[in-house]
Amino acid sequence: MNTKYIVAIGAFVAILSGCASAPAPVATPAPAPAPVAKSDSDPFTTPGYAVVRTFFATDRNLTGKTKPDEMFGIARSNLTYGACDVSIPRDHRMGELESPSIWRLELREYPAKHIVLLSTAISSKDKFFSDVAARVRASPRSSAFLFVHGYNVTFADAARRTAQISYDLGFDGAPVFYSWPSQGTTPAYTVDEQNIEWAQANLRGFLEDFFTRSDAQSVYLIAHSMGNRALTRALASLLTDKPALRNRLKEVILAAPDIDADVFKRDIAPALTATGRPVTLYASSEDLALIASKKVHGYPRAGDSGQGLVVVAGIETIDATTTDTSLLGHSYFAETRSVLSDMFYLIRNDQRADQRFGLHGIDTQAGRYWEFMR
C-alpha cells in the first residue's frame, strides 16, 4: 500500500485536519488565464492591502469577547447576523490563504502580508438583509454567493476563506457565509458530525430568507466537505416546499463532499436534480481527508473520485485529482488555480463543463464525467 494511504488510515485525526484553513501551498498552473479580481475590494484602500466585506449568519454562541476572531465560540445558539472586513494583501497569490509563518519568523498577523479578519460587526436580521440587498443591487447581475464551510473550521477561518474565494473569483456580488458550530479542533470530528446535523434546520430557514430577502436574482451556493451534508439536504427540502425559489438559483457547487457516496446517489442527488438547477461536484482520489473518512465510516465518500466515482445524470462531476499538490489534498477547490479558474468561468459566464477550458469528458456506463487536462 502506498505510504501516503497508510498515513491516511493510520493517522486519521491528523489527516482530517485538512478541512481547516492552514496556509495554502503554491498554486498549480491554471488551465486558463487567472481571473482579474474586480469587486468592492479592487481599489486598494491602503498602500498594502485591500479590504473585502463579507456577510455572515451563524448559529454559534456569542462569547462576550470583543476581538473579531474571538466573538463566536463553538457552542450551539440561535442565529446571529453581521458582516466581517477581511484584508487581502496587495501581493496575494491566487489560491493562498496567507497566514503568519514561524519559518518566516512571523509571530503576528499583518494585513499587508496576510489575510486577516479585521473586524466583525453584529447587526439585526433586518439590517443584515438590507445591507446584503444593497450590495446585491450594486452588482451587474444582482448576484450573491453563500459558502458553507466544513469540519475543523473556526468562525474566523470561515470569514477569511470566504473573502479569499470572493477575491480570487473576482466576484462582484454579495459574498455570504454560514458558520455552523464546528469545534475548530482536529479530534472533534464526531462532535462536528452532530453539529452539522443539528444546524441543518437553521440553515434551511436561513436559505429561505436568503432567497426571498437578499434581492439576489443569481444565487450561487458553495459547500465544502462536511458542510455539504447540511446544504444539500436543506436546499432539497426548501425547493421541494417552495419550488418558485429555484428560478433564482444559478448553481450549486459541492466541493469534496464528505457524504456517504451511496446515500448521495440514492437520496440526495435525485432531490437536487429534481430542482432542474445546475449542480457541479468536485472530487479527487488524492483527498486524504476523505480517504480517512471512508476508513472510519466504512464506505466511500461522494467527494472521492477513486473506485465508485459519483456520476449521476443532472450533476456535472469534475475529477480534480491532477490539480492538487498539498499534503492532504482536501481544500483544492479554494487553493488551486485550476479549480478556482474553472469556478470563475462557471460562475462569471455560466458555462457548463463542455464549454470550459481545460476539461475533457470521459464516458462511462454511468454517464459522462470531466477531468482536468494534465
CA distances from 182 to 257, 298, 307, 333 (A): 16, 23, 30, 20
Q: Are 331 and 24 in contact (CB under 8 A)?
A: yes
pLDDT higher than threshold 70 for residue 312: yes
pLDDT higher than threshold 50 for residue 23: no
pLDDT in tens, 96-152: 999 887 666 667 888 999 999 999 999 999 999 999 999 999 999 999 999 999 999
Beta strands 117-123; 249-255: pairing state: unpaired
d(CA 146, CA 319): 23
Binned at pLDDT 50, 70 and 90, residue 304 comes out as: very high
- What is the residue whose three cell numbers read 499583518? 110
Domain that holds residue 185: 3-372
Q: Are 130 and 90 in contact (CB under 8 A)?
A: no
pLDDT higher than threshold 90 for residue 35: no
How many domains would you assign to the chain? 1
Q: In this prediction, what percent of the chain has a pLDDT beyond 90?
A: 78
pLDDT higher than threshold 70 for residue 26: no
Residues 6+ positions from 3 with CB-CB distance below 8 Å: none
* Residue 34 per-residue DSSP state: P
pLDDT of amino acid 261: 97
* Residue 286 per-residue DSSP state: T
Beta strands 49-62; 72-89: pairing state: antiparallel
Report the helix count and the strand count for the chain, using DSSP H and E: 11, 11
Residue 131, domain CATH: 3.40.50
Is 0.85 topped by the overall pTM?
A: yes
* Residue 310 per-residue DSSP state: -
- Average pLDDT of the chain is 89
pLDDT of amino acid 186: 85
